[in-house]
Amino acid sequence: MQSAQPLPDDEAATALAAARAEALALREQLSKVERRLQAREGLLKGLSQHIPGVLFKVLVSGDGDTRMVYISERAAEIYELDDIDPQTLTWASHYVRIHPDDLAMVQDLSRSVCAHPGELKHYEYRVELPRKGLRWMAGQSVGQPEGEFTAWYGYVQDVTEQKLYAEALIQAQTAERANQAKSEFLSRMSHELRTPLNAVIGFAQLLQMDRGNLYTDEHRRRVGLIEQAGQHLLSILGDVLDLSRIEAGDLPLKVQALPLDAVVAEAVNLVAEQARRSQVTLDVRASAMPWHVQADRVRLRQVLVNLLSNAIKYNRADGRVTLSVRPAGAEVCVTVSDTGIGMAPEQLAQLFQPFNRLGVEQSGIEGTGIGLVIVQRLLNLMGGGIEVRSQAGQGSTFELRLPAASAQAVVAQEPPLSDTPARSGTATILYAEDNEMNVALVHQVVRLRPHWQLLVAMSGKRAMEVARRKRPDLMLIDMHLGDMSGLELARSLDADPGTAGIPRVALSADAMPDRIRAAREQGFAAYLTKPLDVTALLRCLDDQLAPDEDV
C-alpha cells in the first residue's frame, strides 16, 4: 500500500487559497442570509408593532394540538394578558378572556383549519377584558401543510368601534325610515282631518261675519261654539304637527324684536273667555311695560296662551292666575303662577315628556300632554328657556326667559284686516279643487269682494283647459287634486306659453314642511293650510291682486 505523496509547495498554497476563498464566499452568503433574516424579522417586528391587531403562526397537529411559533407583541395588550409572562404565552393563554358563549367556537378553529387547508376563514368572537369590558374581535386565517403539521397563519383585531359604528348606522337608517313613515302618516292624517275642519270652521266664521238679521244672538252663540270646537280640534292637530316639525328641525321661525306688552295682551285676550267660564281671575301685572324681546310673534303668543290656558285649566273655582314681567340682565323673564292643584316632585320630573299627562287622564280636563313639550322647545329655539316650581295642592309657577331687545329694533305690525272690500280692482280667480265643500266655502269668501269673479275647475286637466281659454289673474290650487297633484299642475302651467306666469296660491290640508317647501320652490306665491282662516285668505288674495302701484 502506497502512502499519499505530499503536494508540492506551490500546489499546496493554491489549494489553501482556494479553500480560504470558498470559506470566505460561504461566510459572505451566510452573512447575506443573516442580514435578510434580520431585515425580515425587523419588518415583521415593525409590522406587528404598528398594525392594530395580532399576527400569529401556530402549528397544528393532526389531533388538533397547537404549538405557538410566533405571535406579535400586541397580543398581551389587546387581550390584556399583563399577568402572563410573554415568554410563556401559548395559543390557549387567551382563552381566559373569551366570552363563555364563544369559547367553544374559538377552540374549534384549529381543528377546522386542519380540515380545510388553503381555505381562508373569517370569524368573530367576543372577549371580556378586565379594563375595557366586552369587546368584539374579528379574525382571518388560513392553513397550509408543513410536514406532519398544518401551519396556521392568521390575523386578529379589535373591531368593537367598527361594529358600534355599523350598529349606529343601521339604527340611524332605521330611524330615518321611521321618520319618513311618520311624516307620511302625519301628512295623510293632516289632510284627512283638515279637509272637513275646513268646512266646519270656515262656514262658522262666515256665519259670524254675516251682518243680516236672519240669525239671533242665540244662533250666533251656537255658531261660536261650533267654531270653538273646531278650533280646539285644530289646535290638537297643530300641536302634533308642531312637535313633528320641531323634532325634524323644520319649524320656520321669524325671530325679531317685539313689544312684549302687545303679545301679552293678545294672549290674555285669547284666554279671557276660558278664565271667565272657569271662574278664575286673571291678574296681569304687565300693563304699559317698556320691555321688548327677541322672539317669533306667533310662537311667543302660542307659548303664553299655552301657559295661561294650563294655569286656568288646572286651577280651582275662584282661583287666580298671575302674569308678571321683570328684567334679568340681558334677558326678560315672564312669570305665570296659579293657585291650582300643583304637582308632586315625581310629576315635575316627567313634566316635559311628550304625551305624558302626569296621571290626570281621568280628571275630565282636556289635553294631549305635548303642549309644555312644545313650549320648552320653542323657547329653546328662540334663545330662551323655562323653569318650573310647584307643590302639590299649592299651585305652580312657570318662569320663561327670552333675550331682551331694544325698542328701536321693533318692526311695525301689519294692521288688522277688515271684511270690507279692499283696494283691489276687478279680478278673475280660477280655483282648482275637487272637494265640493271647499268650493262652496271659497265661493262664500269671494262674495265678500263683489268685484272678483271665481271660476272653478274640479280637476287638474279641467283647470288647464279653463286657464288656456280664459287666462285668470290668480289661481288657487289644491295640492291633492283627483287626477294630479298641485305641483304637477304647476309644472304643466309653466310648460304652456299660454298659462306660464299666472300667479298661484296653494290651498292644502297638507301642512307638512317638506310639502310647503316644495310648493315654494315650484313658484307658488303663498301656501295656505286648511282649515282656512277666512281673514287670512282675504288678506292673501288682496295682496296678490293689488294693483302694481299699491304693492
Q: Lowest mean pLDDT: which of 193-197, 416-420, 535-539?
A: 416-420
By 3-state DSSP, what share of the chain in percent is helix, strand and coil, each rounded to 5?
50, 25, 30
Q: Lowest mean pLDDT: which of 8-22, 168-182, 374-388, 500-514?
A: 8-22
Q: What is the 3-state secondary structure (H, E, C) of 480-530?
A: ECCCCEHHHHHHHHHHCCCCCCCCEEEEECCCCHHHHHHHHHCCCCEEEEC
Model pLDDT for residues 93-147, shown as the tens digit of each residue:
889 999 999 999 998 888 887 788 888 989 999 999 999 999 999 999 998 998 8
Q: For residue 4, give every residue at least 6 positions away whose Cβ sits within 8 Å of its Cβ, in sequence order, or none.
A: none
Average of per-residue pLDDT across 84-97: 82
CA-based radius of gyration for the chain: 41
* Residue 409: predicted pLDDT: 62
DSSP notation for 24-65:
HHHHHHHHHHHHHHHHHHHHHHHHHHHSSSEEEEEEE-TTS-
**E strand spans, 377-425:** 385-391, 395-405
**More confident position, 169 or 422:** 169
For residue 549, is pLDDT > 60?
A: no
pLDDT band at 417 (very low <50, low <70, confident <90, very high): very low
For residue 372, is pLDDT > 80?
A: yes
Which span out of 233-237, 298-302, 406-410 was modeled with the highest average pLDDT? Answer: 298-302
Count each helix (H run) and each strand (E run) in the chain, helices first.
15, 17
Which span out of 62-76, 396-410, 445-459 was modeled with the highest average pLDDT? Answer: 445-459
DSSP notation for 102-148:
HHHHHHTHHHHHHHSTT--EEEEEEEEETTTEEEEEEEEEEEEEETT
Q: Lowest mean pLDDT: which of 5-14, 216-225, 457-466?
A: 5-14
For residue 420, is pLDDT > 60?
A: no
pLDDT band at 419 (very low <50, low <70, confident <90, very high): very low
For residue 479, is pLDDT > 70?
A: yes
Give CA separation, 228 vs 205, 221, 231, 241, in Å: 10, 10, 5, 20
Amino acid in the structure at residue 190: S
Asked if the bond preceding 415 is cis, omega within 30° of 0, the reply is: no
Model pLDDT for residues 267-308, shown as the tens digit of each residue:
888 888 889 989 999 998 865 567 899 999 888 988 998 899
In the block, which residue shows the cell 312637535?
243
Q: d(Cα 306, Cα 375) in Å, to the nearest integer?
A: 8
Question: DSSP letter at 79?
Answer: T
